Structure 1
């Protein structure tokens, strides 16, 4: 089963278009597999200094799926994971990130949420067949 994660901008753009491969959360997850990266409707009004330089010039889409990734791991803060990691948080490790050519407008949710089939169909239309096959192979069964 595929999951989705709603993330505030500009962090969703940093995942989709830059090198942000750690998403910080106060909760852990046992889920591993394909993940839709959804940009929330509400942006973070106080992003860190470094993130603005990373996403400068990018359109920060709101309320839309902007990328597909694989949630490869989740571990507690170890102090040296990534420049993007925050102390005292669980680090959700993202791999195989693919930005969508056109963001797919959709309402998000809190936590890891299950995207409906209609959303998955719209996302898959933008991916090549090999990427869609890999996503479906990686998805955990219901």
Structure 2
């Protein structure tokens, strides 16, 4: 299990809209469940597409908002056209699927890169998910970290 800290409003766009690519300068071979953590910093450079998505939402900062799965990672240099409207050129696209918003944000300190959440945080996440959802979304995959 891993977690990824993402600046707002991008974390909200993943949690509440259709953003299924997280743009990063680094690749990952990790595939499996990931907590979506909203960092304490707001990216003021977000454009009209993000504004339309997050209008009216309270942007939680410093909290886990959702659970998702990392299903792929590819280099944008390998694409002739962006794979999604959210994709940035010159970046690695961490592809997300099965995004499940938590009913209540869990205040927590984040970290850089893919970080390992504590067992206490995982217990708090599981408490908010139905047993079947938790078993499905949080299942670990065999493979590299």
What is the TM-score normalised by the length of structure 1? 0.95
- Within 1, Cα distance between the matches of 2:138 and 2:113? 21
For 1:57-72, what aligned pairs fall within 5 Å after superposition?
Answer: 57-72=56-71
- Flag structure 2 segments of 5+ consecutive residues without an equivalent: none
1:136 CA displacement: 4.0
- Within 1, Cα distance between the matches of 2:72 and 2:102? 22
Q: 1:29 to 1:61 in 2, by over 3 A?
A: same
What is the TM-score normalised by the length of structure 2? 0.93
Figure out how many residues of one structure are paired with residues of the other and give that number: 141
Select the residue among 94, 108, 111 that pairs with 1:92.
Answer: 94
- Within 2, Cα distance between the matches of 1:139 and 1:60? 31
- Flag structure 1 segments of 5+ consecutive residues without an equivalent: none
Counterpart of 2:50?
A: 51
Per the alignment, in what secondary structure is the counterpart of residue 42 of structure 2? coil
CA RMSD of aligned residues (A): 1.4
Which structure 1 residue ranges, 4+ long, deviate > 4 Å from structure 2?
Answer: 139-142
Q: 1:93 to 1:64 in 2, by over 3 A?
A: same
Select the residue among 106, 109, 116 that pairs with 2:108.
Answer: 106
1:49 CA displacement: 2.2
The reply on whether 1:135 has 2:134 as its aligned counterpart is no
